[in-house]
Chains A and B, each alone.
Chain A
């Protein structure tokens, strides 16, 4: 594998961004061209990723000095390089980003048809892929951070894509601000690592950490602090408790964006970061914190999803919940399993978002499933592909989610039966809410309004072909890569990347598989009993239902506890008293003083040449005086 290949892989989407961004005006009338250029740009990256993947499979790869493209800046005791780290983990991420990314680009060509911001959309989407590639390709935390901020920016731009809509801009801002909290943690973590290791390069840090050869800037807990701060970043980016609130709102963006950024790739950056830093998390033994946050988020988000009626919101909470599973995986030391779930989830969740987009496309942007029902007859492909995705996430045996989720639960058992238990309950809830969605939307009597019903149609090929393509890996990839559990192909492929997992293989694998299958199928059956012919009530029926339907009032709590106090504090305390009273007082005082002095000084800048000459001479005299008398 050569550096050139990686450079092409990285630059291609950026070129697409430039073409769409700079020449958007000329592409305005030819929106197909604009879309295909940007899809092609990602396809080139995908092709390069496949080459990189085969090379890594053959024992190739890139780390340390060989991956350095050039030195960016250099100081006495440090140097920042632009370089790449390519190993099994990287190539897995590359394939997911560019593969799923390409399919979603193609789908977007149809989905965004006729939108006035067509070229802008594809420019942002390409820029996102570029930033995400920097994030996973970088061989140091600085590049990871650059990508991390880059994807955050693109996410903000794309959530608020329809900026005429107040709710969209609000959601964009919310995502940005909540992510800021996480990013601040990430930044502090980076500073800590730099202070401790004097470098941000992965190889240097991991080798020194292994050898215990670093500055104990916080004593024995240096690594604990560093890893936990980095995890704060992951909590923000990957929408975990308590920073998950931005992700459901992020559904204001175009649906393919939800599929690509807010399900398949960007939100998994936190999981990738922890897997990449596995050495540090092992040494610091902070994995358990990660696992607990993960499992609580998984459960919590799943309960909220039970009572939602908006298709995309259910999928959003489901994403939060599944990300929780991934954190359980990397938290309990089963890094390969966590990443495996990331891969399978990218396929089936990406698929489900795209099918949701297909439904929206047919239903004139309606998202409330109480106004749907019986769609299966009119939209057979959408129905079948969604069903595949839902079965995969519900853990129906032999579909992809079954394998990856089961591995995580199995590994969790060895660390803590409680985590396992909560995870298992979550699995039941997952199957239930997903099939509730299916039955209410696609089965039963049609409740579609008559005006919409006449237009109800299957989506055009440019949209349904991507669905069909995504459905195949959603169904089979688990079987292909995950057969054999901890001895699967995927584990062998990634075994050199991760430290030896400590939480594996206790108890009979088949028993765990059996339990998981039963739980998943029970969830489906329960949904069948309850929602086969019933529609969710318009209003919540009892207190618990109301609580869950209102998302535990977390947004309201945050609003009351954090947003309003800050707002009031800044309005009354900071603005009225501190700013207007004290600071403005000082500023106005200073300004008045400056005006007073300025009135005098202004005579120096009158434009009068004589005055300027006088001031020069005064300057010379002062300098000479300083030299002669002061020194």
Chain B
């Protein structure tokens, strides 16, 4: 059966695929400076971003490949999140890897592959496609986490991530199999139409739980989170930023699509679990983050806690909830990459500043760095007028609307707890005297550009949320 392919619908994915082929080809010539690969990635992702925005504005909708691949404003909005994350990560990577790293070809290649996987996840209209996207993304990330293979910590992170990730993927696949057994199909609209309130078999229920486990691992929900701190700490800092941003958003994109489109009839079953997971994830993430002395580990636990906030919006399970989750994920990606970028900026001649006490007095000695770090942390903590406040506000609002007032109260308490460890870094930077004089490397200009973009994003969404909000509210499923 010949398949009619609508190439226009696939434009963003095609651009990324083309970019990664170009990167692959350029990487073969040793005479070309390797930094060009990073720039190619940025340009390619930039074009794909522009295309996605155009398509999103035009309201493009359509399916492809026998309904397995669905383009709608929802998937396009997530494309925008992924591509922004990719661009920012590539920007902060340029200086991090440096000119002399000969093997950075695979680095950008894998980043692009992972991005393609995320886009497949958001657009998958079929559990198998979602799984393929998930694996494409995850496999690339496993390698990236172990990118510094001479460094045992990095290798360990990659290996650990691979083993645990494979385990989680198995659960996920098993879940798909059970759902297929219960519903007779793996197509998302198909499941929804085969599934009525009466026809719920234990198979479906079991499949649903295993899907939650699979996603729970990918987006680091307690109790499936334990890989996150180890991997974030060991992986290259740029990759930690990458893993904490786009893939998490992709996991939630598929999570939303499957649970809101395929399994809405079972909301009474999964709703409670999500609420419970939200509370657990926020609380555990924030409480353990307090005890951290390593800033990368602290950010890892903070990103676990943020997954908990996102679950609040998911638990609301209304249009408001979906749009607030989408807004939050965009905001979260920008500010989290920004925070990791600031960590990279705090580079001494002996390596990165990773212990929080190393930041003492930095606010005055390195005002630009202090400003970046402070803004990102304030946004993560959710202070107005930053984007973090707007994001949290709408998440909480959707939950109140859905009647989950208690969940919001717990969320607010958690926000207060989180302010403690975020502000502690700010206090250390501005109010503590440094114990030893550290020699700082000069700022790399690409990194500063990346951070300025993140700052603009955080302040722009914080001060002028309405522009973005309208676009998000039109993109709900």
The residues of A with any CB-CB pair to B shorter than 8 Å are 70-73, 75-76, 604-605, 607, 609, 612-613, 615-616, 618-620, 623-624, 626-627, 631
Contacts and interface: CB of A to CB of B under 8 A. Distances in A.
Contacts, number: 57
A342 B321 CA distance: 50
B223 A613 contact: no
Given A70-B464, A607-B160, A627-B209, A612 B226 contact: yes
Contacts of B352: none
Given A73-B390, A73-B393, A609-B160, A604 B464 contact: no
Interface string B386-399: 00001001100100
B61 to A, nearest CB: 27
Interface string B198-211: 00000001000110
B217 A616 contact: yes
Interface in B152-187: 156, 160, 163-164, 167-168, 171
Contacts of A615: 223, 226
B167 A616 contact: yes
B465 interface: yes
Contact of A609 (B164, B273, B401): B164
B136 interface: no
A631 B393 CA distance: 31
B397 A612 contact: no
A624 to B, nearest CB: 6
Contacts of B209: 620, 623-624, 627
A619 B229 CA distance: 18
A618 B223 CA distance: 9
Given A616-B213, A620-B209, A627-B273, A70 B160 contact: no
Nearest to A605: B226
Given A612-B227, A613-B167, A616-B224, A72 B273 contact: no
Most buried by B among A75, A605, A612: A612
16 contacts: A70-B464, A73-B390, A76-B401, A604-B226, A609-B163, A612-B226, A612-B227, A616-B217, A616-B226, A619-B224, A620-B171, A620-B213, A627-B205, A627-B209, A627-B269, A627-B273
A420 B471 CA distance: 61
Contacts of B463: 72
Contacts of B276: 626
B466 interface: yes
B113 to A, nearest CB: 25
Given A609-B164, A612-B164, A613-B164, A619 B223 contact: yes
Query: Chain A contact residues: over half helix, strand or loop, or mixed?
Result: helix
Interface size classification for chain B: 20 to 34
Given A616-B224, A623-B273, A71 B167 contact: no
Given A70-B467, A605-B226, A620-B213, 17 more contacts: A70-B466, A71-B466, A72-B463, A72-B465, A75-B397, A604-B226, A607-B160, A609-B163, A612-B160, A612-B227, A616-B167, A616-B224, A618-B223, A623-B209, A623-B273, A624-B209, A627-B269
Nearest to B168: A616
Nearest to B234: A607
Contacts of B160: 607, 609, 612
Contacts of B135: none
Closest 8 CB pairs of A and B: A619-B223, A612-B226, A609-B163, A71-B466, A70-B466, A616-B224, A620-B213, A609-B160
B230 interface: yes
Nearest to B401: A76
Contacts of B226: 604-605, 612, 615-616
Contacts of A612: 160, 164, 226-227
Contact of A607 (B167, B217, B230, B394): B230
B433 to A, nearest CB: 15
B223 A616 contact: yes
Nearest to B210: A620
Given A616-B167, A616-B213, A624-B209, A605 B223 contact: no
Contacts of B401: 76
A615 B223 CA distance: 7
Contacts of B394: 73
Contacts of A72: 463, 465-466
A613 B397 CA distance: 36
A511 B119 CA distance: 84
B67 interface: no
Contacts of A626: 276
A624 B168 CA distance: 17
B272 interface: yes
A431 B269 CA distance: 81
B471 to A, nearest CB: 14
A371 to B, nearest CB: 37
Nearest to B224: A616
Nearest to B202: A628
Contacts of B465: 72-73
A615 B393 CA distance: 33
Interface string B276-312: 1000000000000000000000000000000000000
A288 B244 CA distance: 60
* Interface-central residue, A604, A609, A615, A620, by most chain B CB under 10 Å: A609
Nearest to B394: A73
A575 to B, nearest CB: 19
Residue of B156, B226, B397 with most partner-chain A CB within 10 A: B226
A189 B334 CA distance: 36
